[in-house]
Structure 1
Amino acid sequence: MGQQATGAEAYLPEGGGLAALREAVDGCRGCGLYRDATQAVFGAGPAGARLLLAGEQPGDAEDRRGAPFVGPAGRVLDDALEAAGIPRDEAYVTNVVKHFKFTRDARGSRRIHRTPSRTEVVACRPWLDAEIAAVGPEVVVCLGATAAKAVLGPGFRVTRERGRLLPLPDAPGDGPSVLATVHPSSVLRSDPEQRRAAFDALVEDLRVVAP
């Protein structure tokens, strides 16, 4: 039998900042996703960033390269941030789940994204909490339903609350605000005739937290 999943908290380093967390994350065995992924994918960006953007999980390109939002969805995010007037290199970008969850196509040659379970999201949440504490952002931007539910609770609906600044649950009074919007990959999945409108709606949400 494999090692029993215990959640990520047991694998977080004591003390230290982003560098210590990044060094420790690949040793995490808090859920079973590490078994099939190439590597853990930690966040990227400066400590002290005003914005922390959190997506769902690494995709195929991110899993191979070991960096967040470097695939097709990352290019949409780059374009949306630029259009909203937010320099990406001044934001911290991460995912709520650090390992790529996938299944293979019938030929076994292509890895197809699978949505993380609630159990896997909860198991990985300590890494995101540690990143928020180390970065100290003014706003946490949740990209997509999985990230929003991880941060704001399983009953949260992006379709009802997107683009609004909300308090971070259980945070002190001076804690960061939270804004939820769609995941950039949803723009790519949109009907071609609706893609521009979907992109513009994402940009409009991001403008709420622009400098």
Structure 2
Amino acid sequence: MTTLETGFLRVRSWLRDHPLAFDGALAVAVLAAMIAGSFTDPNAPNGPSFGTRTPEAASVVLMVLGAAVLVLRRRNPMAVLAATGALAIVEFVLVDPPAPVVMSAVIALYTVAATTDRPTTWRVGLLTMSVLAASAMLFGASPWYSQENLGVFAWTGMAGAAGDAVRSRRAFVDAIRERAERAERTREEEARRRVAEERLRIARDLHDVVAHHIALVNV
């Protein structure tokens, strides 16, 4: 194993043991991505351009709140999804063109899908996709079929699908691990049973030998 692989495994193990630190780093990364996206104009004359617009103060506040609430995504994923979805809707209503506050809702929906069952993922995912996409289409000045509005629908859908795939993989790995542990326990129990049977056989043989010698002594 190379030094890079060893370092990666150590970092992953540390992050697994410190989930709050990981969620804090994720919140910072999402905030940086939202702020960078808020400076990008996808409808510029010569194609998407960076630095041609600046986010409003209200958008900055909403982005900070949306990123901050992600720190609690493992403790109460449904509440975090509701909060980030509400912040995204407020952004769609108040600001045009909106800043990408919806990114925080995408992460929250992924968390819900990765930590709940499939029926819940379908219900919550479809509701989130419908509400956010409808809000973007109704309150924005751009046409309902614009790439930004369709992007909201697509990203929320992919977040739900990715979270469900991760949950299914975890369940599969857990099932394999459980079967391996059960097989190991079965082998250990079989070995202990054979040792006990061998001890019992030796004890019986010893008993027969002793009884035979006692009989000879009596004779």
TM over 0.5: no
Q: Which structure would you say has the larger Rg?
A: 2
So what's the TM-score if we normalise by structure 2? 0.27
**Larger relative contact order (C-alpha < 8 A, sep ≥ 6)?**
1
| Higher strand fraction (1 or 2) | 1
